[in-house]
Chain A
């Protein structure tokens, strides 16, 4: 398997700009997760999908964040407008439930200036 693929790996953007992060889960995995990692807050679950359907988006910080999964092999996380406090590493992960480990992508390192 190719693993979870994320893009871009690094992004620097100005405050107010729209940011779109992309994720391709491992083939055959029907659960997809978006996590955010910062020094202050650690690893936080933003949203997860099961069979392309959002199951829990309670971790999405505010209306500026949105996530979609139009099909089993692609998901996006969008921030509009971006703010400096959104600077973090955003991880996408996938798994075959239940009782299976979650496999993480390499992360998207976002800096908002």
Chain B
């Protein structure tokens, strides 16, 4: 059974600080996705990582994928309050009929 583990599950940061969220998974996959969810809202796609070594950046967020280590990271640079949300990683089961298995999410709170 594929397991997707995120850590930390809760993260309280000060504005301007840097931090990294980790996503480990237990089986071979070369596709990983990051989503953001604001309270009471749906999940919004942030990044699609489709190969080993893939790196994507959008604003203060940067995601990377190491398929050999079965690890993805979401790095936050100089956090601002607007980044407060829950971030999920999801691993693609693969194939043309695959689904995504989600981690439990990391609830990020950025304080002034």
Contact = CB atoms under 8 A, between A and B. Distances in A.
A102 B33 contact: yes
Interface residues of A, number: 22
Place the interface of chain B in its size category: 20 to 34
Given A99-B31, A103-B45, A50 B92 contact: no
Interface stretch (B18-26, B63-71, B75-83, B98-106): B98-106
Interface in A43-62: 43, 45, 48, 50, 55-56
A61 B45 CA distance: 27
Contacts of A100: 48
Contact of A98 (B44, B90, B95): B95
Interface of A: 31, 33, 35, 42-43, 45, 48, 50, 55-56, 91, 97-107
